[in-house]
Amino acid sequence: MRVLLTGGAGYIGAHTAIALLEAGHDVLIVDDMSGTSPEAVARVEQITGTTVPLLVADVRDRQALTDFLRRNAPVDAVIHLAGLKAVGESMAEPVRYYDVNLGSSITLLEVMAAEGIRTIVFSSSATVYGTPEQLPLTEESPTGIDLANPYGKTKRIIEEILSDAAAADPDLRAISLRYFNPVGAHPSGLIGEDPHGIPNNLMPFVSRVAIGSLPEVAVFGTDYDTPDGTGQRDYIHVTDLAAGHVAALEQATPGYDVYNLGTGEPVSVLELIAAFERASGREIPKRLAPRRPGDVAATYGDPSKAGRELGWATRLTIDDACRDYWNWQSRNPRGYAGA
Ligand code: WQD
């Protein structure tokens, strides 16, 4: 299939582009580059030995998107990854998050309908569950429980839009993939996560400490009701996550469906830091700190539905993720900016 990746130059997007190309599909990318670099696409081409058509534009630019699709017709499907994704930032800038995330999704769906593209795989998030009432989280777990951040609310609303659109159009194939916590990097070390500024998420922060660009990591909360008192999350290797997109795309059927993409294995903050120390051979100075507002003690998924219906499961561990993340970071101490 020929697949448009919106946000395809980003962390998840670049890895998904490689997985699609290696599975024999064609890929084209639209990305406004606000959260990444064109170098990421150049690296995808280097790794796969192919040329990837790239449109640098906002997905809300209807004419640019339409022209790009027509220039590369026929396009069979879209994987929609473009969007703003920082939980804390969304609290400070809610209207911008609704404008960008909902606006791009609605424009995309309208252009898809106009161009006869009938398959969409959407980058959703386990954030839509809000505060878990029971673990592990399944796709039937309630969503929106104490969900306070606009980022997570936009993902939940877009899921509803896809569900309603599929109910109205019997030919539409729509799947939401609820990511847990993506980590790791492609084994080549050529592509990886490249957050701009000080990272919010744990693994990029720990990696910056290991490389020496940050002095220490704060452990947000040591009094949670977890085995070692620190927060537990479901860290999924980004190449496993990318494979999940290929499986969803290839097996999409008319209608709407939702799949958790996670390992099902909770890992604590202290366990992740220890794994990164093993992988990097570097000591990671840490400071025990108060809980971060809005954090939950533990969240992790039950990925068995994707196993049953898509034949997908994770293969890689937190140690693999730390090894691959460190390989990317040590080869690219300044991310793509160092290229
Ligand atoms: C993980 C754990 C922190 C930083 C976020 C988004 C979610 C998804 C994944 C997009 C928690 C602790 C963190 C630090 C720490 N993104 N921590 N010190 O909050 O689980 O999820 O990223 O879909 O939407 O909410 O990820 O990496 O920020 O935190 O102790 O410097 O690490 O308290 O327990 P989170 P995270």
pLDDT digits (tens, 9 = 90+) for 296-333: 999 999 999 999 999 999 999 999 999 999 999 999 99
Confidence of residue 256 (pLDDT cuts 50, 70, 90): very high
CA–centroid distance, 168 to ligand 1, in Å, is: 36
- What is the structure's pLDDT at 119? 98
What is the rounded CA–CA span in Å between residue 162 and residue 169? 10
CA distance 151 to 90: 5
Beta bridge partners of 28: 4
C-beta atoms surrounding 162 within 10 Å: 24
**Token code pair at residue 95:** 């209207």
- CB 257 within 8 Å of CB 244: no
In order of 37, 129, 137, the CA distances from 143 in angstroms are 33, 4, 10
pLDDT computed for residue 14 by the predictor: 98
**Range 59-80 average pLDDT:** 98
Q: What is the DSSP letter of 301?
A: B
Rounded Cα distance between 101 and 266, Å, is: 29
The residue to mutate among 202, 222, 270, having the most atoms of ligand 1 within 8 angstroms of its beta carbon, is 202
- Determine whether the shortest distance from the Cβ of 198 to ligand 1 is under 6 A: no
Location of structure tokens 């879209």: 78
Cα-to-centroid distance, 202 and ligand 1 (Å): 6
Confidence of residue 285 (pLDDT cuts 50, 70, 90): very high
* Whether the Cβ atoms of residue 38 and residue 21 lie closer than 8 Å to each other: no
Share of the chain above pLDDT 90, in %: 98
Residue nearest to atom 4 of ligand 1 (CA): 202
pLDDT of res. 70: 98
Tokens read off for 175: 């799947």
Rounded Cα distance, 239 and 22, in Å = 12
Q: What is each CA distance from 284 to 192, 204, 215, 309, 322, in whole angstroms?
A: 20, 13, 9, 40, 13
CA distance 34 to 86: 13
Residue 179 CA: nearest ligand 1 atom is 23
Q: Is 294 a pocket residue for ligand 1 (Cβ < 6 Å)?
A: no
Residues 177, 182, 183: CA angle, nearest 5 degrees = 160
Q: Ligand 1 pocket, 295 CB below 6 A? A: yes
Contacts with 273 (C-beta within 8 Å, 6 or more apart), sequence order: 206, 217, 219, 284, 286
Tens digits of per-residue pLDDT, 40-62? 999 999 999 999 999 999 999 99
CA distances, 282 to each of 94, 188, 209, 276, 278 (Å): 39, 21, 9, 8, 8
Residue 339 pLDDT greater than 80, yes or no: no
**Is the beta carbon of 317 within 6 A of some atom in ligand 1?**
no
Average confidence score pLDDT of the chain: 97
Of the candidates 151, 235, 300, 325, the residue annotated as catalytic is 151
Tens digits of residue pLDDT in 138-184: 999 999 999 999 999 999 999 999 999 999 999 999 999 999 999 99
Q: How confident is the model at residue 234 (pLDDT cuts 50, 70, 90)?
A: very high
The encoded tokens of residue 48 equal 């796969």
Residues 81-119 pLDDT 10s: 999 999 999 999 999 999 999 999 999 999 999 999 999
Q: Single out the residue of 336, 84, 53 nearest to residue 189, CA to CA.
A: 336
Tell me the average pLDDT across 184-188. Answer: 98
At 129, which amino acid appears?
Y
Residue 3 pLDDT: 98
The pLDDT > 70 percentage for the chain reads 100
Work out the average pLDDT over 273-298: 97
CA distances from 47 to 55, 89, 186 (A): 20, 33, 10
pLDDT at 254 over 90: yes
DSSP state of 24: T
pLDDT at 110: 98
